[in-house]
Amino acid sequence: MKTFISIQSVTKSFHKNKEVITPLENLSLEVSKGEFLSLMGPSGSGKTTLLNLIAGIDSPTAGNIYFDGQDIANLSRSQLTRWRAEHVGYIFQLYHLVPILSAFENVELPLLLGKWSKAQRKQKVMAALELVGLSDRARHRPSELSGGQEQRVAIARAIVHDPELLVADEPTGDLDRESADSILNLLSELAKKHNKTIIMVTHDPKASAAANRALQLEKGQFVSEGHLLGH
């Protein structure tokens, strides 16, 4: 399969008081288009740092990060902001929905800064809600939805602008097992049927098992890799 994301000899360091902290050191990774990859590891292993670098939220101290051939490691902050808005969707553990807005309005938020007309926005929002199975809840506010439904709204918001990459930080960490399994099935479907590349950080081995590939990080280095059965 074609390499979609290529991380080459990436190091990330920062200063804390007089100490230099290096959560990632000389790390390399390749991710294929449409792959569902999970990153596991103890707290402080560097998984969220790596996720933030891949998503363009942060830049590496050294090394290169190629996204579909473009080196995003050398983009300016304003260029990265524009790049993220076009190419990346974010899914978080705690949903980050606006309580006073309906599901429709929450999903519409990323489109309001774009070039789309009101009719185009409506079409995109309803298509995203349909995809996550919540078109009948478009007018409900977050307080009227279950945790699993709130996370589905958050996923719809992440995909409404049709990004190629979805980054998910503990997306099932706040859910019961049944809701978590439903969300994991949805993420798998987005990768398989819609060719989304998904990189997920999780502490949950069962969540990790939903991915095509699992990588274990410890102290900023990959220590094991698993290609999981049934994919």
Identify which of 169, 165, 158 has the alpha carbon closest to the alpha carbon of residue 48: 169
Mean pLDDT computed over 18-32: 90
pLDDT of residue 107 exceeding 90, the answer is yes
pLDDT of residue 228 exceeding 60, the answer is no
- The b-or-e profile of 119-135 (16+ CB within 10 A means b, else e) is eebeebbbebbebbebb
Place of tokens 């969220």: 48
Domain ranges in the chain are 3-224
β-strand pairing of 197-201 with 19-32: unpaired
What confidence category does residue 121 fall into, taking pLDDT thresholds of 50, 70 and 90?
very high
CB count, 10 Å around CB of 21?
Answer: 13
pTM for this one? 0.90
CA angle 103, 106, 108 (to 5 degrees): 110
Counting residues of the chain whose pLDDT is more than 90, the rounded percentage is: 67
In the prediction, which pLDDT does 1 show?
64
In the prediction, which pLDDT does 230 show?
40
Instruction: Count the helix, strand and coil residues of the chain and give each as a percent rounded to the nearest 5.
Output: 35, 30, 35
In tens, the pLDDT along 164-174 reads 999 999 998 88
Q: State the alpha helices, DSSP H only, in the chain.
A: 47-54, 77-87, 103-108, 118-131, 147-159, 177-194, 205-208
Residue of 99 and 223 predicted with greater confidence:
99
Mean pLDDT computed over 38-53: 89
In tens, the pLDDT along 71-95 reads 998 888 889 988 998 999 999 888 8
CATH number 3.40.50.300 given to 3-224: yes
Q: Please give the structure tokens belonging to residue 101.
A: 């807005």
